[in-house]
Every structure is written in structure tokens, then in C-alpha cells.
Chains A and B, each alone.
Chain A
């Protein structure tokens, strides 16, 4: 494993027939970094993320995740990553504890570990006494926090967040980001896609994908400086306007 590089990608490409979904992207992500992965719909974000998660094989290029090769060692990668989708992916008809037990369980956590994790999570989320509450009766903001906590319940090296803040109010979003910072301080690398440009500014570095390529990659501050604008919104708009491809 290269010392501090948790993700490395070199010329990573995915083609579906003639369509080049991801076009020779190269980047590196460091341990504990919050890495924003931006791009308009259809720019290739999801495809790129799926390759890194071991869900689909690249057409060409090389990449490692947590030090493992994404062609041959997907099994190892899967044990070391967490994933949270935009739908939060909790079982509404199961209780808070049952959700934690299920997701912890499929990552191989022992019963005792699950009990401890649950106790500390409940405290951290101020959900004490709610272990037996059905997830469907939780407010959206809490579901989101719970989903994130569950995505990192097995202490992964990296957690992939696919548009994790859709549909929640600004207060909940802020609280959610403070959880992300906590996780990053514990050394968990955060790989996050988002539509909200103010959130992009919370990231250590962001990459912006246009038509399958990474057109910009730097810290939000540098990007704004280079493009001579005051917000990530404007950086994004300048880049996204060049896009030829439209969203599916």
C-alpha cells in the first residue's frame, strides 16, 4: 500500500459499446481526506464510483482502493469500504437496532461488537432509547445520520457517499457534515458526490467531471482563485457549460 494514498486511479476508462462513460480519469485520494466528486448528471460520476466500489470492471486503466487492485481484489476492497446511497438505504420495516445488526452483521461484526457499536451510536446520535423504534417513524434527518453511521459501522478505510444530503433541510445538512468531519478526523477517507455547491466548499479537494473526463481537480479555494470567481457554483457552471453530453 502506498503510504498515504487510499485511492489511486490512472487512466481509468469505462466504455459501454461506443459510449465512453468514463474517459481516462486519473486522481489520488489521501487518507482522511474529504474528496468531493462533482459533475452534472450523466457526466460519469456514478460509473466511476461503481468501478471503485468493485461493482463494475473498468475497460482499461488501473486503480487501487485501500491498496487493493480493482480488477483482482474486489473481495478485499469490499471489506474495507462503506457505501451510502442517496436513498439512505435503511430498511423502514426494521428497527434501528435491527438495521445496525444487519449491516454490521454482513460485514462480519460479532454480536458483542454490534451491541457496543449500537450503544455508542445511540449516544452519539442522541437516539438513546430508540433502538426499538421502527426506522420508518424517524425524521428524515435522523435517517440520514443513521444511514451514515451504519455505512461506517465496520470502520472502513473509505466511505463512498452518493449524493448523501438529498432532500434534507439545511440544519440537518450542517449536522450531517459535522459527522463527516468527525469521521475524517478518525482517519476515514470520505469520497462524496454532491449537487450542492456550498457542500463542495466543505471538501478538502474536489474534482469536477465533464463528459466522462476530470476537467478540474484542486482545493475549492484554489479552484475559485484559478477561475477568478467567488463561489464553487460559478466554477461548476463555467465547466459544466462546456459539456456536450446531456443527462440521460
Chain B
């Protein structure tokens, strides 16, 4: 046991002495959270629009005012010809244009078939869709108010309630995503690099000749990174609660326990990589390619897994981050208990046991 502690102490000194890496390890999650939280948001806010009002009546003004006043849009230009709309789009000044035909109010009140055209820049399809939906919703609102005083024979009112995230904040999705990404990277990459480094400088040979058991060597090498990861989890959670306003609805203990499980999964992946990599660079690139991208693509963090082609969905099943992402969302955002995530937890646990077993077995036999 004392030998074990001496080993951990030494490992800690390596991390502590390499200030630049330590700095990156501690700041990476913080910077990521802040970036995703404040800069790289995919929420639609203050999107620039132009209005082409050929009618200029009471009704078009009312609708224009409502749209311009909403937090989703900001009116940057009133245009007067179709060519004008075209050139404004080409200059990239607006994302959507709203066109009212001449005689709008007249059509609305007497003809019953008033039309509005929404022209959106669909080079970014998701945003275009969202903008069109928001604008339609505002217009529908107006229409309902007009109808308020009349008794229409048949009306269906749709009431939408956004569960778990009523304000539709992007943070509710990316905080779990960043947690998965950071833990995977810190643990797997740093562990694999630190093990491969010992092989490179020849100290691994000497340690293996010593009475220390290979199993203990591996565990001792990973424990300091487990601690760094806990620090990262803490900083991500603190930031998300206090800076981004994403509450931890469910049990903090459960969330931490699941995070530790995922950390161990990532550490085992790191050991596995270190078994095949000969140089620190290889270890780093292998970690990047085999972890960073799959975690980003297949965890469901950026792209919903359900929308992927079936073969990709199958691949996503073997990405540990996918299950962790589901778990964090369930516990942290939806406030669900263990009963609803036992399946994901079991899968993650199974992966961890398998990875750890294989990696330690390989570590022993390769040396």
C-alpha cells in the first residue's frame, strides 16, 4: 500500500511540474463551457430581418411591430422592391425577409385569404426553419386576437409546453455534452500519454522489473487523472449552475457517481491506447481521432442519433459518451432517478469492465 502511495505521489509530481499541461487541463472545460454558453450558441436571437410592405396599412404595421419587438428578430431594413430583398440577402445583411402584398388588410377583412411571404436564407436550414416558425407563430397570434370577438364555429388551439427546458436554452443540451467530451479527452488522452511517456524514457521497464504488480502500476498511474477529472466535473457543474443558469434538478450524488463511472471508462480507453502506441505523439493522435470525433458526432450532443442512418446509429451504440450523455441529461436536466437510467448505467458499466479487463490483460502480456 505504501508503495502504491509513493507511486501516486510521483505521478502527481509529474502533473504538477508540467504547469502548461495542468493549466490546459483545468482551463479547457471552463473555456469550453463559456464558449458554448456565450459565443457558440445555436439559439435564435435578434436575427436580422427586412420587411417589404407593399400595403402599409393598419394590419401590416401591427404585424411588423410585433415581429420587430420580439427578442428573436431585429428589423434592420425596410425594403421597397424585390430586387432590394435579393441584394440585401446577397450582402448577407439579413437572414429573413417578410413580404406583405398590396391590399393586405383588405384581403384579410373582406377576401378571407390574406397572404404573407416569408423568405429565409436556407443556407443554414435549421436556423431558416426556426425563424420561419417563430415568425408564423407571431402572425398566428395576431390572427387569433382578430378572431377573439367573433364566434368561429370550429377552432383548435394548440398549446405547447416545453418540458425540462421551458426557455429552450441551448445550455441544457451542451453542458452534458461538454462533460462527456472533457472527461473523455482528459482521462483517455492524458493517461495514454503518461503511460507511453514512461515507455519512451525507459522507466516503465525498470518499474516492471520491480516488485510492483502491473495491475497496481496501471491503477496508480490513473488515479491522479481521476482527481483532475473530478476537479473538472466540479468546475463544469459550478459554471453551469451559477453562470449559465442550468440547474441540477436530480440527485447530485447520482450524477457524481455516474460521472466517476464514465471517468473510469475513459481511463480504461486511455490504457488501451497506450498499449498500442509507441510514441507520445501517436498516443495523442490516436486519442484525438478515436475519441474526440466519435464523442462529438455520436454522443447525440451535436446531432440527434435518431436522425442518423441505421449503420451510424449502430456505431453510436459503442461510443461510451453516448450513454453517459443520456444519463447526465436524465439526472441533471430531467431530474430522473436511478430507476430510469439503470439500463444506460449497466451498458456503461459493462463497457468499463470489458475495457479495463482487456487493457490490463494486454498491458501485462505486451511487456
A positions within 8 Å CB-CB of B: 53-55, 75, 78-79, 81, 83-94, 98, 101-103, 105-108, 151, 160
Would you call B14 an interface residue if the criterion is a C-beta within 8 Å of the partner chain's C-beta atoms?
A: yes
Q: Which residues of A contact B208 (CB under 8 A)?
A: 55
B202 touches which of A54, A78, A87, A98 (Cβ 8 Å): A87
Q: Which residues of A contact B210 (CB under 8 A)?
A: 78, 83, 103, 106-107
Within 8 A of A (CB), among B198-230: 201-203, 205-212
Would you call B140 an interface residue if the criterion is a C-beta within 8 Å of the partner chain's C-beta atoms?
A: no
User: A53–B210 Cα gap in the complex (Å)?
Assistant: 9
- The interface size bin for chain B is 20 to 34
Would you call B72 an interface residue if the criterion is a C-beta within 8 Å of the partner chain's C-beta atoms?
A: no
Contact A98 B13 (CB under 8 A): yes
User: A208–B208 Cα gap in the complex (Å)?
Assistant: 26
Which residue of chain B has its CB nearest to the CB of A94? B13
Would you call B167 an interface residue if the criterion is a C-beta within 8 Å of the partner chain's C-beta atoms?
A: no
Q: Which residues of A contact B10 (CB under 8 A)?
A: 91, 94, 98, 102
Q: Which residues of A contact B14 (CB under 8 A)?
A: 91, 93-94
User: A81–B206 Cα gap in the complex (Å)?
Assistant: 11
User: A14–B258 Cα gap in the complex (Å)?
Assistant: 46
User: A94–B198 Cα gap in the complex (Å)?
Assistant: 13
Contact A85 B3 (CB under 8 A): no
User: A194–B208 Cα gap in the complex (Å)?
Assistant: 22
Q: Which residues of A contact B7 (CB under 8 A)?
A: 102, 105-106
User: A164–B31 Cα gap in the complex (Å)?
Assistant: 47
Given the contacts A98-B13, A106-B6, A75 and B211 also touching, CB distance less than 8 Å: yes
Cross-chain pairs A/B with CB under 8 angstroms, 17 sampled: A53-B209, A54-B209, A55-B208, A78-B209, A79-B211, A83-B210, A84-B206, A87-B201, A93-B14, A93-B18, A94-B10, A98-B10, A101-B6, A103-B206, A106-B7, A106-B210, A108-B3
Given the contacts A105-B2, A106-B207, A93 and B202 also touching, CB distance less than 8 Å: no
Would you call B367 an interface residue if the criterion is a C-beta within 8 Å of the partner chain's C-beta atoms?
A: yes
Would you call B110 an interface residue if the criterion is a C-beta within 8 Å of the partner chain's C-beta atoms?
A: no
User: A107–B6 Cα gap in the complex (Å)?
Assistant: 11
Shortest Cβ-Cβ A-B pairs, 7 listed? A87-B202, A105-B6, A83-B209, A89-B202, A89-B206, A78-B211, A85-B202
Q: Which residues of B contact A160 (CB under 8 A)?
A: 209
User: A92–B367 Cα gap in the complex (Å)?
Assistant: 23
Q: Which residues of B contact A92 (CB under 8 A)?
A: 201
Contact A55 B6 (CB under 8 A): no
Q: Which residues of A contact B20 (CB under 8 A)?
A: none
Q: Which residues of B contact A78 (CB under 8 A)?
A: 209-211
Within 8 A of A (CB), among B1-38: 2-3, 6-7, 10, 13-14, 17-18
Within 8 A of A (CB), among B145-189: none
Q: Which residues of B contact A54 (CB under 8 A)?
A: 209
Q: Which residues of A contact B367 (CB under 8 A)?
A: 55
What does the 1/0 interface line of B28-60 toward A look like (CB < 8 Å)?
000000000000000000000000000000000
A89 touches which of B6, B18, B205 (Cβ 8 Å): B205
A213 to chain B, nearest CB (A): 25
A89 to chain B, nearest CB (A): 4
Q: Which residues of B contact A84 (CB under 8 A)?
A: 206
User: A53–B17 Cα gap in the complex (Å)?
Assistant: 32
Contact B17 A81 (CB under 8 A): no
Q: A89-B203, A94-B10, A94-B17 are in contact. List 6 more A-B contacts (CB 8 A).
A: A81-B209, A89-B205, A98-B10, A105-B7, A106-B7, A107-B211
B109 to chain A, nearest CB (A): 81
